[in-house]
C-alpha cells in the first residue's frame, strides 16, 4: 500500500466513523459538529483523487455555509447542552432502510466499476471551466435557472402576503407591551400590600 | 517558479514550511497587535504602552509578549455546565483556518509556501470555516451572552462572506486565473489606455472597498464588532474563556487582520511590486525587496483597520445586516457584471 492509498484509507475511515457518530450522537449540536468532520473527510478524499476544485467547493459550501446554517438554526431554536431525550419510534425502520441502501449501492458500485483503476491526474480549473461553460453550457444554464427559480420561490413562500399577519407599521411590539403590562397591573390591584410599592415605581 | 522553501527531501520541505508559517503567524500577530495599541493610543491623544520593553528598546514593544506570558500563567477555567470537549477545542477550530490561508499567500517572487492552482478559492473557502469555532465556543459556554454573540457572528459571517467572495471573483475574472501568484504577475502587466500602468485596485476600486469592508466584518473588527459588543453582551463568544484559550481567540483576530490585509494587497494592490509596472531583479534581491514591499503594504492596510476602529461608532445589528444585503451584495453583483462585460468587449 502506497502513501496516498494510506491517506485515502484514513480519510474514508475517519469520514465513515464521523458519519456513524452523526446519527448516533445523543446531542443534536454534537451531531452537526461530527457532520463537519465527515464533510471534511469527504473533501480530503476528493483531494486525493485529484479533484481539487470539488474539494475546496465542498469546504466552502458544505462546511462554511450549510453546517453553519444548521448550527445557526439549532442554536436559534433549542439546543441544550448534554444528552437529549430521544423519542424515535422509527429507529429500527431507519436502520433497516440505511443498511439496505448502503448494501444496494455498494453491490452496484462493486459489480459495475469494482475492478476499474482510477487515473489520478489532477484536474485543472481551466479544463473544468472549458467543460462546464463550453461543452455543457446549456445544461449548466438550465440548472442555474432552476436554482434561481427555487430561490425566488422560497422567498415568495417565506414572505407574508399583504393583509396576513401584523402590518409592520402597526408595531407588534406595542401590542406585546400591552399584554405584558396587563397582568402586572392586575396583580398590583389584587394585592394591596405590595400595590403601593408597585404604584410608586410605576408613577412618574 | 518554485517556492524558495523547496528542498530535495520532501519531509524536510514540509517541516520547514510548517515552521516558517507558524513562526510568521505568531510574530505578525504580535507586531500588528502592538502597532494597534500604539497607533490607537496616539490617535486618542495618549501614548499607549510605554514601559514593557525588550532589552534596551522601550516604548512598550514587550507589552504583548508580557501579555502572552500572563495568559499562560492564568488558571484554565471551564464552567461546570459547559460542554467540556467542544469548549476546549473551539479556540483551535477558530485559529486553524487563518493559519491555512497563510499557506497560499505569496509575499514575494518565490516567497510562498504553496502556489496552488486554486489559491484564491482555497483562501476564501478556508476563511469561512472560522465561524464554526466561534459557534462552538458560544454554544458550549452555556452562557446566554456567549450564545447571542455566536449567533450574531454567524449571521454576520453569512451576510459578509458573499461580498468578500464576489469581490475576489471579480479579480479572478479580470486576471483570468485563481492562482494568487499569477494574479500578482498579471496585475503588474495591466496598462490602462496603453499608457498608465495600474493595479486592480484602480479599475476595481469598488471591489477593493467591498473586500476591505467585508474583511473587517468577518474579523469582527469595529465598527462591525456587534458579536462581541462589550456594553451589551460582555465579550460574545469569548465571555467564559480565560488564559491561553482566550489568547487563542485574540491571536486569531490579529492574525486574521494580517492574513486578510495581505490577501487584499495581493488581489488589489499589486502584491510584491513596489509600484505598478515595476520590474524586480531576479534572485535573492528580488525576493527581499518583494517581501518587504508586501509586508509594508499589509501593515498599512492593517493600520487602516485600526484607524476605522478609532474613528467609527459601532453599527447596530440591523444596520449591519441592512448594509450587507442592500448595499454591499448588490454592488458586488453589479461590479461582477460590469467587469465581465468589459473583459469580453476589450480584448
State the best of B82, B87, B118, B227 to mutate against chain A, taking most chain A CBs within 10 Å: B118
On whether residue A54 sits in a domain, the answer given is yes
B161 and chain A: CB distance < 8 Å anywhere? Answer: yes
Q: Hey, is B197 helix, strand or coil?
A: strand
Residue at A69 is within a domain: yes
Tell me what percent of the residues of chain B surpass a pLDDT of 70.
Answer: 99
Residue A146 is predicted with a pLDDT of 95
pLDDT in tens, B135-173: 888 888 888 888 888 888 888 888 888 899 899 999 988
Q: Write down the pLDDT at residue B263.
A: 92
In a domain, residue A198? The reply is no
What is the per-residue pLDDT for A192? 43
Of A26-40, B55-69, B94-108, B115-129, least confident by mean pLDDT is B55-69
Structure confidence by residue, pLDDT tens digits, B201-235: 788 889 999 999 999 998 888 888 877 877 888 88
Enumerate the β-bridge partners of residue B191. Answer: B197
Residue B334 banded pLDDT, cuts 50, 70, 90: very high
Contact B303, B35 (CB under 8 A): yes
Residue A132 shares a structural domain with residue A73: no
- Within 63-92 of B, beta carbons closer than 8 Å to A belong to 81-83, 86
Each residue of B66-85: pLDDT tens digit? 888 888 888 888 888 888 88
**Residue A138: per-residue pLDDT:** 92
Q: Is residue A168 situated within a structural domain? A: no
Is the bond preceding B223 in cis, omega lying within 30 degrees of 0?
yes
CB contact, 8 Å: A56 with chain B? yes
CATH at A75: 1.20.120.1200
Residue A204 lies in a domain: no
Instruction: Examine the domain organization and report whether A2 and A77 are in the same domain.
Output: yes
Is residue A66 in some structural domain? yes
Q: Which residue from A65, A82, A124 is facing B117, i.e. has the nearest CB?
A: A124
Q: Are residues A1 and A76 in the same domain?
A: yes
At residue B330 the predicted structure's pLDDT band, cuts being 50, 70 and 90, is very high
Please give the pLDDT value at position B261. 92
In this structure, the answer to whether residues A64 and A2 fall within a common structural domain is yes
Do the chains contact at A71 and B161, CB–CB below 8 Å? Answer: no
Q: Is A71 on the interface with B (CB under 8 A)?
A: yes
Residue A31 lies in domain: 1-81
pLDDT at A160: 66
Give the pairing of strands B191-192 and B196-197.
Answer: antiparallel
DSSP chain A: --HHHHHHHHHHHHHHHHHHHHHH-SSHHHHHHHHHHHHHHHHHHHHHTT-HHHHHHIIIIIIIIIHHHHHHHHHHH---SS------TTHHHHHHHHHHHHHHHHHHHHHHHTTPPP---PPPHHHHHHIIIIITHHHHHHHHHHHHHHHHHHHHHHSPPTTSS--TTT-HHHHHHHHHHHHHHHHHHH-HHHHHHHHHHH--
Contact B258, B191 (CB under 8 A): no
CA B59-B61-B64 angle, 5° bins: 130
For residue B292, the surrounding DSSP H or E stretch is: helix B283-311
Please check whether residues A55 and A130 belong to one and the same domain: no
Rounded to whole angstroms, how far apart are CA atoms A162 and A124? 50
* Interchain pair B121, A82: CB under 8 A: no
Please tell me if residue A53 touches chain B, with a CB cutoff of 8 Å: yes
pLDDT in single tens digits along all 204 residues of chain A: 677 778 888 888 999 899 888 888 888 888 888 999 999 999 988 888 888 888 888 888 888 888 888 888 888 877 777 667 666 778 888 889 989 999 999 999 888 887 777 777 777 888 888 888 888 889 999 999 999 999 899 888 888 665 555 555 544 555 445 444 444 444 444 444 444 444 444 443
The answer to whether the CB atoms of B135 and A30 lie below 8 A apart is no
Percent of chain B with pLDDT over 90: 12
CB contact under 8 A, B128 and A68: yes
Q: Would you say residue A138 lies in a domain?
A: yes
Q: Are residues A68 and A138 in the same domain?
A: no
A66 and B CB contact within 8 Å: no
Q: Does A57 touch chain B (CB under 8 A)?
A: yes
B235 touches chain A (CB under 8 A): no
Average pLDDT over chain B, rounded to an integer: 86
Return the pLDDT at B347: 62
Q: Given A69, A79, A124, which is nearest B139 (Cβ)?
A: A79
Q: Is the ipTM of this complex over 0.85?
A: no
User: Structural domain tally of chain A?
Assistant: 2
* Any domain includes A196: no
Amino acid at each position: 500500500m502506497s502513501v496516498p492509498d494510506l491517506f485515502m484509507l484514513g480519510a474514508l475511515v475517519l469520514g465513515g466513523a464521523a458519519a456513524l457518530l452523526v446519527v448516533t450522537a445523543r446531542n443534536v449540536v454534537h451531531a452537526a459538529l461530527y457532520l463537519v468532520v465527515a464533510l471534511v473527510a469527504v473533501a480530503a478524499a476528493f483531494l486525493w483523487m485529484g479533484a481539487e476544485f470539488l474539494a475546496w467547493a465542498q469546504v466552502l459550501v458544505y462546511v462554511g455555509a450549510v453546517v453553519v446554517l444548521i448550527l445557526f438554526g439549532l442554536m436559534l431554536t433549542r439546543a441544550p447542552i448534554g444528552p437529549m431525550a430521544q423519542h424515535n419510534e422509527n429507529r429500527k425502520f431507519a436502520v433497516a432502510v440505511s443498511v439496505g441502501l448502503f448494501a444496494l449501492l455498494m453491490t452496484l458500485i462493486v459489480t459495475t466499476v469494482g475492478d476499474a483503476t482510477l487515473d489520478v491526474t489532477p484536474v485543472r480549473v481551466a479544463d473544468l471551466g472549458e467543460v462546464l461553460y463550453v461543452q455543457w453550457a446549456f445544461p449548466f444554464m438550465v440548472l442555474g435557472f432552476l436554482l434561481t427559480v427555487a430561490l425566488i420561490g422560497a422567498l415568495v413562500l417565506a414572505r407574508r402576503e399583504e393583509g396576513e399577519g401584523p402590518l409592520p407599521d402597526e408595531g407588534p411590539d406595542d401590542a406585546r407591551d400591552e399584554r405584558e403590562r396587563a397582568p402586572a397591573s392586575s396583580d398590583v390591584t389584587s394585592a394591596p400590600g405590595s400595590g403601593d410599592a408597585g404604584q410608586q415605581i410605576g408613577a412618574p | 517558479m518554485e517556492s524558495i522553501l523547496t528542498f530535495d527531501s520532501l519531509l524536510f520541505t514540509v517541516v520547514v514550511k510548517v515552521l516558517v508559517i507558524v513562526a510568521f503567524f505568531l510574530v505578525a500577530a504580535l507586531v500588528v497587535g502592538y502597532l494597534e495599541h500604539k497607533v490607537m493610543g496616539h490617535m486618542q491623544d495618549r501614548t499607549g504602552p510605554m514601559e514593557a520593553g525588550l532589552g534596551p528598546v522601550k516604548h512598550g514593544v514587550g507589552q504583548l509578549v508580557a501579555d502572552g506570558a500572563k495568559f499562560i500563567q492564568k488558571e484554565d477555567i471551564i464552567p461546570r455546565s459547559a460542554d467540556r470537549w467542544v469548549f476546549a477545542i473551539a479556540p483551535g477550530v477558530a485559529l486553524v483556518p487563518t493559519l491555512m490561508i497563510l499557506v497560499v499567500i505569496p509575499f514575494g517572487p518565490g516567497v510562498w509556501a504553496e502556489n496552488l492552482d486554486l489559491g484564491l478559492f482555497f483562501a476564501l473557502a478556508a476563511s469561512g470555516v472560522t465561524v464554526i469555532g466561534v459557534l462552538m465556543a458560544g454554544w458550549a459556554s452555556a452562557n446566554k451572552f456567549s450564545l447571542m454573540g455566536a449567533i450574531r457572528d454567524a449571521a454576520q459571517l453569512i451576510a459578509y462572506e458573499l461580498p468578500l467572495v464576489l469581490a475576489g471573483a471579480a479579480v479572478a475574472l479580470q486576471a483570468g486565473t485563481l492562482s494568487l501568484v499569477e494574479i500578482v504577475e498579471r496585475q503588474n502587466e495591466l496598462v490602462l489606455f496603453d499608457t498608465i500602468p495600474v493595479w486592480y485596485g484602480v479599475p476595481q476600486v469598488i471591489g477593493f472597498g467591498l473586500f476591505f469592508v467585508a474583511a473587517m466584518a468577518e474579523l469582527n473588527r469595529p465598527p462591525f464588532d456587534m458579536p462581541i459588543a462589550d456594553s451589551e453582551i460582555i465579550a460574545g463568544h469569548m465571555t467564559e474563556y480565560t488564559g491561553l484559550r482566550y489568547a487563542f481567540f485574540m491571536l486569531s483576530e490579529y492574525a486574521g487582520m494580517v492574513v486578510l490585509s495581505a490577501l487584499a494587497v495581493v488581489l488589489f494592490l499589486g502584491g510584491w511590486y513596489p509600484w505598478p509596472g515595476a520590474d524586480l531583479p531576479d534572485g535573492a534581491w528580488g525576493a527581499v525587496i518583494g517581501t518587504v514591499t508586501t509586508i509594508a503594504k499589509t501593515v498599512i492596510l492593517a493600520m487602516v483597520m485600526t484607524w476605522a476602529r478609532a474613528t467609527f461608532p459601532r453599527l447596530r445589528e440591523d444596520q449591519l445586516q441592512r448594509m450587507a444585503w442592500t448595499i454591499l451584495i448588490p454592488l458586488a453583483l453589479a461590479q461582477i457584471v460590469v467587469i465581465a462585460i468589459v473583459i469580453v468587449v476589450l480584448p
